[in-house]
């Protein structure tokens, strides 16, 4: 694939937050000049219907947790196991992938508050042997956290068959333990997408380095630190770094299609997640994710100054120059018809996650689903699937309610980072 086609593949361009009906008619959702507030309250019937629409479009199973002030709604649709037809339910544990990055960034920012880390200091000051030479002197901690470091992603090195492409590496690595330093070496050996600070380019390597930085300055394991200082203060009861390849508690299987290269899709719910570590290894529930972002945005995890740093963003644009999100430090903003929402998405083999909250934490949605990369590829990248439009419809219903929308100036992408590091191509 050409680089332009690969960007299209990895970005999931037109599948966006858009009402399925209006997209089918050639109309997407616009971001108005002045966002209209969402109507008060939850339309439970509409939420139920929009969730079922995702299942009807072909998703195996999906679960969602929605909040509007004190009003809450949880729903699930579809199956957790395609063989036994065991149903999904809203409280299932779920691999949240890159949503983990918000937890890691929050932990690093706590060290900034303590004076142990300077956001604008070079990473070589803290990890001199790991990021040697000019890179270590020019890549700052901030660049790692907002993906402007210019360091490549390690995924192609850890899963080399994805560049062929086929899914053999997924099976080869199911029980393999990767050391964080090994992942960093893959990333440093990968082609650099740009000079440090030059442009935004999503790379999981950045957040492996952030985990190693956290260990260096705290003297404790990154998983342990994040558990004690981020997960527990947020009041989360079902969120963890699993210690084994097995997901703790009731959960769905996770099916990976790899854009039709794995047919039928295969279950990868049992997996050694050392390959993702502080970039994406965590397990949570949708309700816990809403609780976490409410605590974070409400100032219970970081002080006001550090939260402001976290929400200091860089624009992220497509090849045509359209800004489709604003990335901060482990968190990003998307502008929806009813206002700006903060959060992150995640995608690992078999599991997709999306969690967004209004700035005051009053309006929230977190959803998880159990079939990944169900789309097909063509010469331009990912071909949008009916599932994408249905997912966007549910997300808009959850965030903005049943308010009118206007004709799109551009589509809003769904899961804007989940596909950015899967190097499927020729």
Kindly tell me the burial class for residue 267, based on how many C-beta atoms sit within 10 Å of its own C-beta (0-12, 13-18, 19 or more).
middle
Choice among 8, 98, 203, 274 that is catalytic: 98
367: number of Cβ within 10 Å: 27
Whether residue 240 lies in the annotated active site:
no
Q: Are 94 and 283 in contact (CB under 8 A)?
A: yes
- d(CA 217, CA 346) in angstroms, rounded, equals 27
User: What DSSP letter does each residue of 170-190 carry, written as one string?
Assistant: HHHTTTPPPPHHHHHHHHHHS
- d(CA 312, CA 18) in angstroms, rounded, equals 26
Task: Name residue, tokens 């999931």.
Answer: 12
Q: What are phi and psi of 132, to 5 degrees?
A: -85, 170
H helices of 100-204, in order, are: 100-113, 133-138, 141-145, 155-158, 168-172, 180-189
As given in the structure block, the two tokens for residue 76 are 């699930």
Catalytic residue numbers? Answer: 98
């Amino acid at each position: 694939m050409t680089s332009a086609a690969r960007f299209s593949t990895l970005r999931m361009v037109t599948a966006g937050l858009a009402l399925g009906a209006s997209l089918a008619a050639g109309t997407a959702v616009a971001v108005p000049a002045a966002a209209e507030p969402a109507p008060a309250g939850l339309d439970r019937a509409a939420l139920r219907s929009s969730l079922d629409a995702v299942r009807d479009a072909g998703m195996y199973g999906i679960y969602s947790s929605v909040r509007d002030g004190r009003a809450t709604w949880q729903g699930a649709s579809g199956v957790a196991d395609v063989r036994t037809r065991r149903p999904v339910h809203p409280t299932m544990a779920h691999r949240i992938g890159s949503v983990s990055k918000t937890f890691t960034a929050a932990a690093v920012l706590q060290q900034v508050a303590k004076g142990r880390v300077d956001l604008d200091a070079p990473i070589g000051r803290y990890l001199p042997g790991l990021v040697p030479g000019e890179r270590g002197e020019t890549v700052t901690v901030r660049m790692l956290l907002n993906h402007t470091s210019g360091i490549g992603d390690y995924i192609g090195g850890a899963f080399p068959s994805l560049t062929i492409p086929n899914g053999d590496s997924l099976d080869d690595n199911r029980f393999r333990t990767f050391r964080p330093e090994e992942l960093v070496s893959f990333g440093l050996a990968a082609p650099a997408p740009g000079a440090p600070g030059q442009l935004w380019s999503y790379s999981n390597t950045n957040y492996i380095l952030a985990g190693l930085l956290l260990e260096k300055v705290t003297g404790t394991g990154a998983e342990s630190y994040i558990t004690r200082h981020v997960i527990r203060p947020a009041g989360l009861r079902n969120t963890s770094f699993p210690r084994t390849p097995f997901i703790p508690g009731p959960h769905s299987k996770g099916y990976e299609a790899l854009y039709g290269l794995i047919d039928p899709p295969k279950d990868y719910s049992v997996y050694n997640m050392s390959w993702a570590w502080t970039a994406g290894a965590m397990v949570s529930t949708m309700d816990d994710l809403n609780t976490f972002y409410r605590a974070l945005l409400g100032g219970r995890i970081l002080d006001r100054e550090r939260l402001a740093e976290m929400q200091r963003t860089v624009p992220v644009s497509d090849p045509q120059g359209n800004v489709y999100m604003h990335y901060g430090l482990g968190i990003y903003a998307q502008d929806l018809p009813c206002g700006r929402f903060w959060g992150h998405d995640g995608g690992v083999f078999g599991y997709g996650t999306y969690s967004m909250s209004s700035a005051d934490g009053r309006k929230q949605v977190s959803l998880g689903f159990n079939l990944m990369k169900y789309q097909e590829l063509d010469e331009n990248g990912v071909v949008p699937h009916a599932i994408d439009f249905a997912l966007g419809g549910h997300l808009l219903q959850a965030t903005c309610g049943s308010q009118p929308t206007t004709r799109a100036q551009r589509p809003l992408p769904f899961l804007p980072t989940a596909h950015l590091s899967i190097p499927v191509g020729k």
